[in-house]
Structure 1
Amino acid sequence: MRVEDGFQPVPFNEDNAYTADPVLPALLKRLLSSAAFADINADLRRFGGEVMLQMRALSRLAEPPRLLQYNQWGQRIDELQTSEGWRGLQALMQREGITGLFYERKHREYSRLHGFAKLLVAGAESQVIDCPLSMTDGCARVIELMGTQAAKEDILPRLTSRDPAIAFTAGQWMTERLGGSDVSRTETVATPVPDSGPHPYGPQYILDGFKWFSSATDSDIALALARTGDNTSGSRGLSLFLVPLRDPLLRAPGAVRPPALSNHIYIHRLKNKIGTHIVPTAELSINGARAYRIGEPGAGVRGIAAVLNITRMHCVANAVGSLRKCLATATAYANVRTVEGGRKLLRDKPLHVAELAKASVVYRALTHLFFGTVLLLGKAECGVASEEETLRLRLLTPAVKAFAADRAYAASVECLTMLGGEGYMEENGLGRALRDSLVEKIWEGTVTVMSLDLVRATSKGDTLVAFAAWANRLLSACPPPFALAHAAAIGALRSALAAISSTYERPIPELVPRPALFVLAHVAAALHLLEHALWVEAVPADAEVFRRWVTEAGLDAAVAELGRAKDVDERTRVRGDAEIVFGRGCAKAHL
């Protein structure tokens, strides 16, 4: 039989990435002012079409970067060659206002919602181009908060520019060979330049060290941690630095871009990663690079926290955006794939639709949780957040990052399987989406690292009090008919809240933080879904999503696991874990 003969599979069609989304338009209508929604909704409708056409076309041109370390004469040149697709995607996003929207603040505290909505819609279609843009966003915030006046005049406008010809991107250099999230043993050393006099960008230093991961190696500047104190001072001896990757940093329009070697920064090698293949991630040798200190000596970790709070939200945008694509693809496929001898479509099979509904509930919950937290970030940056909202933002930032990355990835895998063998084909982009979103479970902190940060967030007793006050207000606002119809879900939420309130009492057992994070994040997502279900323009499906998220999506299992972690004989459990993993003779080392 010729390939043209016989049954021909019907290709599925996907609609506008924004208007076809089951969550985002209504959610933004609730969160935004009417004037802001009219403007932002129109922009997102236009951008949703750009994602499906122009962005997908550029993505097909994206290829992994190449590193040419030496020329034909044996001279070190470290020429990093990126693809047309990478450069085109970056330029497209810069023109769309990533990161400009966040700092133009046309819609004040809603500007974060606008920009992150674009990132969610573009997720999985943009080849993780947001990686360097997320660090550019963080760098812009640091300069806005802590930079000198000259840095605000010279560098900040380029970081936020919509003109790709002059726009800067930025890197973030924290990770070294001694540890990932643990920066206390940082080896990179910063030495003051003697008799250099004041510089407009800050005190001048020379940096020497080795950075194990640099995910924006083609950027213009970087924020780096380096040691200004002695080796015994740990993270208290670290300061934050602005590092130009090329000298001169400011050049005339159209001038040739110097190599990174011009500031004594050498690309040791490009990383060979599971995903994010087109992102130029490298190991860097810093051999006498000129840098400018930002902030006070020894305050580097506190300074870089402003970056992490932002980049963690970008991680969530990519993770949930990847789920958006996987769910949209699986839903579109169900509309055309025939079964039972061609008599029915997949959409007509209740068992299949039930699995789509499970994934949709997860997507809806994570999207509501994410944008609820983004709104708090926007309010905090514009100085209009209440004290309670500021405390809630501190609590939710690590929780949302860890929880969304974990749950979105698992749901994305299920969506891929709903296409059967077609889901395993590279052409549909789902495989790349999974590979790329997997990194969000690692970048900027794993679940375990985030759970320990959540413990730090609760060290100030007011954070949990603020969270409980918000939760109790929402639960008390339920009209009697709604409360009666959803008594089981509301009761489960109240029980979970009670479990959280006693979890972070000191001392906290070592096995508790991770399951505690999952319970808190699950409850927070439920509360955002409840808020939307009570909204005057909500539809009955919103209440059903709330009910299913609380009673069917794993909250009971999360609370049970937290209970076990609280009640277990920790010494016996730790010994048992060590014997299972490392063997009987190694258990003593873990006690």
Structure 2
Amino acid sequence: MGVEEGFQPIPYLEGNPYTTDPALPGLLKRLLPPSVAAEVEPDLVRFGDEVITSIRAISERVAPPRLTQYNHWGQRVDVLETSEGWRDLKAVCFKEGMPGIFYERKYNEYSRLYGFAKIHLMAGDSHVIHCPMSMTDGCARVLELIGTPEMKRELLPRLISRDPSTAFTSGQWMTERPGGSDVSLTETTATPTEHAKGTMWPEFQLNGFKWFSSATDSNISVALARTGDTKDGSRSLSLFLVPLRLPLIRDISSPEPSPISNGIYVHRLKNKIGTHIVPTAELSLQSTKAYLLGELNQGVKNIIPVLNITRIYSGMSGIGGIRKCLAIATTYSQVRAIRSGTQVLKDNALHVAQLASISLTYRALTHLTYGTILMMGKVETGVASVEEQHLLRILTAVVKAFTAEKAAAAMEEAMTTLGGMGYMEEVGIGRSIRDALVEKIWEGTTAVLAMEIVRSAKNPTTFAAFGSWSLRVIDSVPDSLKVRLQHSLSILQAGIQQTLAVYKASTDMSPLVPRPALLLVGHTASSVFLLEHAVWSWNTKDTECETDVEVFRRWVVEGGLSGVMEEVRIAQEAVKSRIATNRSITYGSKL
């Protein structure tokens, strides 16, 4: 039989990622003022059409980067070639205002919601282009906060430009061979030059080795380097702005400088499990010119805005990936016939139940992420309450870690709903899963972020803010709705009380508690955000009211909150014998 003969599968056709999204339009309807929503929603609809047409076509033309270290004369050249598709995706981001929207601030604190909604819609077809865009955004924020007037005049406009011909992207260089997430072991040193003082470009020379540098095709990078004694660990690190080529500022018509013009040598490109298109490399810095950002020996503090922003992008990458995989799965279910062609998958109750479970996770993560984004927008525009400032400190890390923990598993479930078709590379779910795995590591593993939250809890007002916010949302539930949600509300209240109790004892916490405790915060916070939306939907008699209420109920009762509460309890009660047993289970009793 010829391939053209016999049964022919019906191709599925995805719709506009904004108008068909199960969560985003309703969420923005609640979070955005009507005047802002009236302006941005038509642009999101337009952009959604662009995603499934021109942007998707561009994404088909991307290819992994290539590195040529030596020319035919044996001279070191370190030419890094990226594909035209990659460069075009970057141009799309700049033209669409990513990250320009965030700094134009036309919509004040709501600008973050608008800009991230675009990132959300594009993420599934972007080949992780928002990795360099996140670091560009973070660098722009650092310059806005602590850059010199000349840096703000010469560089900031390029980082937030909508013109791809003049726009700059930024990298971020923290990771080194001795420490990974532990920057206290940083080996790269910074030595002041004669131009280190009395100038708006305080100049240093960097010497060292950066083991993991994403977006090596960028124009500049922010980097940590040691300016004090090694014994002082992270307290002797400073933050620097590093040009990848010299001169940094040049006329657009001038030839591009040599890739090694600033003493930056590419040891090799990284061979990664996923994110194959992102040019990630190991770099050797040899008398590399760099400019101090902020005060000496305050590098860890000064790079925090970059980490906060990139962690939100990380969460957005996760939910953007689920959105794409869920869209594929739901549209496939509308055309794939089973039972000798007598039933379409969308009419099969067992199949739809699996899709509903994926959608439930997607909705919870989306509400958690956007609720945190709004707080970020408020902090950046100076309108956040003290409570929101404390919440943002906790939730930024939670968004990154909790979404990373949930995203890949949800994508795997979406893959299985297509059967063998889902396992095919050309469908795209496999790439989404591989790319999502890095989010469990990039910008801090779940364990690293869990310890960060424990440290933040040493300030008692931090989790006091979490408690007051959570309980206030529960108190807002109208009596008519409390009756329906009595069981789920009691579970949520127990989860909140356990969260507050766990972190109240942060100074005497069992070493097994921090990780499940972070997941507990993720479950409770996402539940509170879903409840907040359900209450709004109920009070306004929104058309999706019944669905919104049921999503909250199911997420609390069936989404894993009770399970993680039990994990925390077990970890709290763990004695030394359990820790020893963990070792024997892992390594055998002879170790």
Q: Residue in 2 aligned with 1:131?
A: 131
Moved more, 372-381 or 445-454: 445-454
The TM-score, its normalising length taken from structure 2, stands at 0.98
Structure 2 residue aligned with 1:554: 560
Moved more, 534-543 or 558-567: 534-543
SS in 1 for 2:240: strand
> What are the residue-to-residue correspondences of 1:110-129 with 2, within 5 Å?
110-129=110-129
Give 1:541 shift: 0.4
**Partner amino acid, structure 1, of 2:139:** C
Please state if 1:543 is matched with 2:542.
no
Deviations 1:323-382 (A, max 9, x none): 000101000000000000000001111011000000000000100000000000000000
1:198 offset after TM fit, Å? 2.9
Question: Does 2:5 align with 1:33?
Answer: no
For structure 1, which segment, 336-345 or 499-508, has the greater mean C-alpha deviation from structure 2 after superposition? Answer: 499-508
Alpha-carbon contact 2:364-2:527 (below 8 Å) kept: yes
- The answer for the alignment partner of 2:416 in structure 1 is 417
| Distance (Å, rounded) in 2 between the aligned partners of 1:99 and 1:132 | 11
Instruction: Report the AA paired with residue 343 of structure 1.
Output: T
Q: CA deviation at 1:299?
A: 0.3
Q: Distance in 1 between matches of 2:5 and 2:558?
A: 46
1:541 counterpart letter in structure 2: T
TM-aligned CA deviation for residue 254 of structure 1: 2.4
How many Å separate the matches in 1 of 2:588 and 2:6? 58
Q: Which residue of 2 aligns with 1:525?
A: 526
Once the two structures are TM-superposed, the CA of residue 4 in structure 1 deviates from its matched residue by 1.3
Deviations 1:457-477 (A, max 9, x none): 211100111111011111111
Assess if the C-alpha contact under 8 Å between 2:510 and 2:574 holds in 1. no
Give me the identity figure in percent. 53
Structure 2 counterpart of 1:93 = 93
Alignment coverage as a number of residue pairs: 584
Which secondary structure does the structure 2 equivalent of 1:444 belong to?
A: coil
Aligned residue in 2 for 1:589: none
SS at match of 2:477: coil
1:259 Cα deviation after fit:
2.5
Question: Which secondary structure state, in structure 2, belongs to the residue aligned with residue 262 of structure 1?
Answer: coil
Distance, in Å, in 1 between the alignment partners of 2:427 and 2:255 is 38
In structure 1, how many angstroms separate the alpha carbons of the residues matched to 2:472 and 2:524?
Answer: 14
How many Å separate the matches in 2 of 1:195 and 1:119?
40
Q: Aligned with 1:191: secondary structure?
A: strand
1:585 aligns with 2:586: no
CA distance in 2, matches of 1:124, 1:15: 14
Give the Cα separation in 2 of the matches to 1:435 and 1:60. Answer: 17
CA distance in 2, matches of 1:17, 1:106: 24
Give runs of aligned pairs for residues 343-492 of structure 1, distance below 5 A.
343-492=342-491
**In the alignment, residue 125 of structure 1 is paired with which amino acid?**
D
Alignment partner of 2:18: what SS? Answer: coil
Asked if 1 retains the 8 angstrom alpha-carbon contact of 2:318 and 2:407, the reply is yes
- 1:171 is aligned to 2:177: no
Distance (whole Å) between structure 1 residues aligned to residue 380 and residue 112 of structure 2: 9
- Aligned positions of 1:46-65 closer than 5 A: 46-65=46-65
What's the CA shift for 1:199?
Answer: 2.9
CA deviations 1:104-135 (Å, max 9, x no partner) are 10101001001111111111201100011100
State the alpha-carbon separation in 2 of the partners of residues 152 and 459 from structure 1.
35
Equivalent residue for 1:575, pick from 573, 576, 580 = 580
Structure 2 stretches lacking a partner, 5+ long:
none
Deviations, residues 71-98 of structure 1 (Å, cap 9, x unaligned): 1111111000000110000001110001
Q: Any idea what SS the aligned residue of 1:286 has?
A: strand
Counterpart of 1:187 in structure 2 is 187
Question: How far 1:400 sits from its partner (Å)?
Answer: 1.3
Question: Which residue identity lines up with residue 579 of structure 2 in the other structure?
Answer: V
1:197 CA drift (Å): 5.0
Cα deviation code 1:232-252 (max 9, x no counterpart) = 110001000011111011111
In the other structure, the counterpart of 1:289 is 288
Distance (Å, rounded) in 2 between the aligned partners of 1:259 and 1:465? 54
| 1:260 positional shift | 2.6
Deviation at 1:204, TM superposition (A): 1.1
Q: Is the 8 A contact 2:335 2:344 kept in 1?
A: yes
Matching residue of 1:564? 570
- 1:9 maps to 2:15: no
Q: Secondary structure at the match of 1:470?
A: helix
d(CA) in 2 for partners of 1:550 and 1:247? 55
Superposed displacement of residue 218, structure 1: 0.7
CA distance in 2 between partners of 1:69 and 1:553 (Å): 50
1:261 match: secondary structure: coil
Q: Is the 8 A contact 2:512 2:574 kept in 1?
A: no
* Higher mean C-alpha displacement, 396-405 vs 189-198: 189-198
- Secondary structure at the aligned position of 1:431 is classed as helix
The verdict on how the C-alpha distance between 1:494 and 1:338 changes in structure 2, with shifts beyond 3 A counting, is same
Instruction: Tell me the distance in 2 between the aligned counterparts of 1:272 and 1:313.
Output: 25
Shift of 1:196: 5.6
SS of 1:276's partner is coil
CA–CA distance in 2 between the matches of 1:429 and 1:517? 31
Measured on the aligned residues, the alpha-carbon RMSD in Å equals 0.9
